[in-house]
Structure 1
């Protein structure tokens, strides 16, 4: 019997539709599917230790591939070089001095965000996103930073972490995955015996199940100029590199699973760190090694591949940018940062030449508020508690890198005098074009008086605009202090 031509045509059309990938996200009629978002945050990883940022020793092929397929920012900054304080900014778009997130959350430190703040995961959930987190959390309260799913895995085993995310990656709804490793944070115990043994940075002799162990010879590592080139420093950097290679392996696993789930073409992937490497002179400071960080973004919908972006952005910009990428309007939420979605593909966009930083605590015993303005090539640091000796994070003080100089009463720690590291002037003004190491303080040079005053005015404006209580330290300005009466 001859089959009518119309029947053949209908059968063919139905066959085509039946072959459509069932993993493709279905959007409402007339509306594009919202992108999935993965925000991958490492712990204490600086730009010093990534192949795509110029390190020719460390092996980070998967993260380097992300840079090849996306955009690598060269002037991206956290706003506080401390884990919890930085993460609060990442997830709220607001400086910690305005949200109560002054320092660490855990143990007796107990800093916590005000409960009226609305965070990124809460705002995304409201718009239909499935939100999930895995690994380091380090923010509070849970009501403010609520995720629908909390996944459990060893935060040092990034392959295991990736595997636990399988159901999220296969979700029928658009998802937001907050993937936070403990690597390459220093490992416990922080104080070794003997004192000159390098910290483990979470590495184990037996390695981690499913993770390729990549080791480094201390003689081959790159010692940044702000650190002393001692055997102890080199041994610790070798451990630090090994921990980062473990991150890279897990990141590669996660990307492979994303592709297998059919979601790679509709998922924005962002790689950042919370602060710089866990060495004195970087973490807990507002010098460049502490706050200038990797930021790599791959947005499959954008026409960017292997692009370098020189815009000055900060972690205060991340929440508004991610919401903008998800096409979510938030006119009822006031962020301190701004979306950089529209300039992602540009190399040197206009109007992106200033960032601010605000550090108050790390551990509760480390009161040392600092405020920072970087405008183009100039950077001003205001050490509000400058009469105090600069406080140390417990893990950095115990580090063999620090002790290798301190125990021998050395004059210099890297390029900086040990005395200058411990005791700082009220103002530090640097020209980063001519002095990238931040060694020559111009704040007390008469030739830079106008620059100093201009930067001070910018800082005061920043503090007023962001309701910084430490504004009172300028001539006892109490305009933000209120009446002191609970009405």
Structure 2
């Protein structure tokens, strides 16, 4: 009888232990949930769940029914590289010197400015580094365009093969998949593909004249969205096939507005407003809408908040989800336009829940920038031809006129932003409010757009030469069976990576590491915008 009781108690204890272990593992997943970003390029909210019925996107439509749809998410720039630099760092591009499009091409108008990588303030880190330090496996497939180089410490894998499936067992993941099919260039590169959208069904915005060429290119833009939808669907299916859909938070969004002339590269509503949806496990907030103002500056803090990682104080945004969600929603969003390829401009904007204010600091310049890249698009060539033939109406011709110093639009009454209210006395109070808000924002972030690019680069790269990160140094502490190694770098703001053994992969250093005696450890460092340091080899005694 006693033996039976003992066996019963042991079995009961074992059951409690197993349940307890399962509970702890479940709690760990809640503490560090998997997070997946599915991103696309150059796309406004031209989807049925946002009121545009031009095409059907079955996979994203299904996803929207499982997700919360955010109706007011905004990029910080109307073009990819500044936008992406802001996303990855959580900092406004003009605050860290990444505001120009782009730093690394060498096609600047001023030939004395080298192709460069922006040297950010020393406290600035790409936010996946905080996730990696907390134990996440972080992957990016594949676009970067961060303007700070491609620091090896940001991702566990940044390649066309990067995937959560390659992670070590039981590690939470943060995975990014960027879908290129909606990029501006695909309008002409996909021109010979079958077109599934009837150009006659396209509703032309007032910015465009009637033209078969224009209709065809806009139809191609929508067809490319359909291609993107099918790829997004395949990524979501992989997540389900792996049994991960129920413990992964999934984001979907575009990097800025549509891939069309007078949309992309602009900081009007049409250049900044993007689709943005988040799906939570267990159907939380499924098929709901959220109308709060959100900025791409809020993405980094929100991901860290969802991952239960303390937020750095230097972030320019605030979390809108997770246990560190901001107490008050944001009142304004901000964006900037600076050099675009070979042409300079200086425009800043602020938007509240109803009005958008735009300040043109170089009003002598035309709205239109003669950017060579987009002239490969037949739509762009057609507009220029019709301009030269004087066949554009007054609205369409505005693009080729100089700009007013200030613009103010009521986005509820005037979604196409055709009626500038800046000189209307009935809106003087709102104009003064937003003017002051915009001015204070530029002062607060120490807006680098107000210095010449040449001077900015001279400060980052003295003498026009890229600085080099100093080699890391090591301190070794011998223990009984293990060796403890502490790493540091004399370069302020440098991130350090290490790998153990000849076949290891680069890990982010964030605390002393312990290795078996006799094992080689390799280390190197990089400050964003600098060259990587030389690699050091640390040999531990047997």
| Normalised-by-shorter TM-score class | 0.7 to 0.9
Matched with 1:143 is: 151
Q: 1:134 aligns with which of 112, 117, 141?
A: 141
2:292 aligned counterpart, secondary structure: strand
Query: Matches of 2:232 and 2:431 in 1, distance apart?
Result: 43
Instruction: Establish whether residue 434 from structure 1 lines up as the match of residue 413 from structure 2.
Output: yes
TM alignment of 1:49-448, pairs within 5 A: 50-102=47-99, 103-109=101-107, 110=115, 112-115=117-120, 116=122, 117-139=124-146, 140-143=148-151, 146-152=154-160, 165=163, 167-168=165-166, 171-187=169-185, 199-202=187-190, 205=193, 215-300=196-281, 303-331=284-312, 333-341=313-321, 351-363=329-341, 365-389=342-366, 390-409=368-387, 416-448=395-427
SS at match of 1:185: coil
CA distance in 2, matches of 1:56, 1:136: 29
| RMSD value, Cα | 3.5
Change (3 A) 1:361 1:470: closer
Per the TM alignment, residue 170 of structure 1 is displaced from its structure 2 partner at its CA by 7.8
Offset, 1:79: 0.8
| Structure 2 partner of 1:450 | 429
Judged with a 3 Å threshold, the aligned counterparts in structure 2 of structure 1 residues 187 and 459 are, in CA distance, closer, same or farther, namely closer
Q: Which structure is larger by alpha-carbon Rg, 1 or 2?
A: 2
- Relative to structure 1, is the Cα distance of residues 171 and 386 closer, same or farther in structure 2, using a 3 angstrom cutoff? farther
Q: Report whether the alignment pairs 1:35 with 2:27.
A: no
Contact 2:196/2:223 (<8 A) preserved = yes
How far off its partner does 1:258 sit? 0.8
Find the residue that maps to 1:311 and give its secondary structure: coil
Report the secondary structure of 2:293's partner residue: strand
Aligned residues, how many?
439
- Alignment-derived partner of residue 484 in structure 2: none
Note if contact 2:96-2:448 (Cα within 8 Å) is conserved in structure 1. no
82-91 vs 241-250, which moves further? 241-250
Q: What is the distance in 2 between the residues matched to 1:13 and 1:386? A: 77
Partner Cα distance (2:23, 2:202) in 1: 45
Asked if structure 1 preserves the Cα contact closer than 8 Å seen for 2:97 and 2:448, the reply is: no
- CA offset at residue 82 of structure 1? 0.8
Report the CA distance shift for 1:387/1:16 in structure 2 as closer, same or farther (over 3 A).
same
**Distance apart, 1:330 and its partner CA:** 2.3
CA separation of 1:71/1:443 partners in 2, compared to 1, >3 Å: closer, same or farther?
same
**Residues 420, 261 of structure 1: CA spacing in aligned structure 2 closer, same or farther, 3 A cutoff?**
closer
TM-score by length of 2: 0.72
Call closer, same or farther: CA 1:241–1:112 in 2, change over 3 Å: same
Change (3 A) 1:136 1:395: same
User: Displacement, 1:472?
Assistant: 7.7
Structure 2 gaps of 5+ residues are 108-114, 453-458, 464-542
- Seen in structure 2, the aligned counterparts of structure 1 residues 404 and 179 have a Cα distance that, compared at 3 Å, is same
- The separation in 2 between residues aligned to 1:45 and 1:236, in whole angstroms, is 14
> How far 1:187 moved relative to its partner?
2.8
- Within 2, Cα distance between the matches of 1:29 and 1:72? 27
TM (normalized to structure 1)?
0.80
Separation in 2, partners of 1:295, 1:282: 18
Mark the CA change 1:343 to 1:430 in structure 2 (over 3 Å): closer, same or farther.
farther
* 1:73 Cα deviation after fit: 1.0
Cα pair distance change 1:7/1:228, threshold 3 Å: farther
Query: Retained in 1: the 8 A contact 2:354–2:412?
Result: yes
Displacement, 1:291?
0.4
1:206-258 deviation per Cα after TM superposition (whole angstroms, max 9, x unaligned): xxxxxxx8722212234334333421121112211222112111111111111
Contact kept in structure 2, 1:286 and 1:372, CA below 8 Å: yes
Deviation at 1:265, TM superposition (A): 1.2
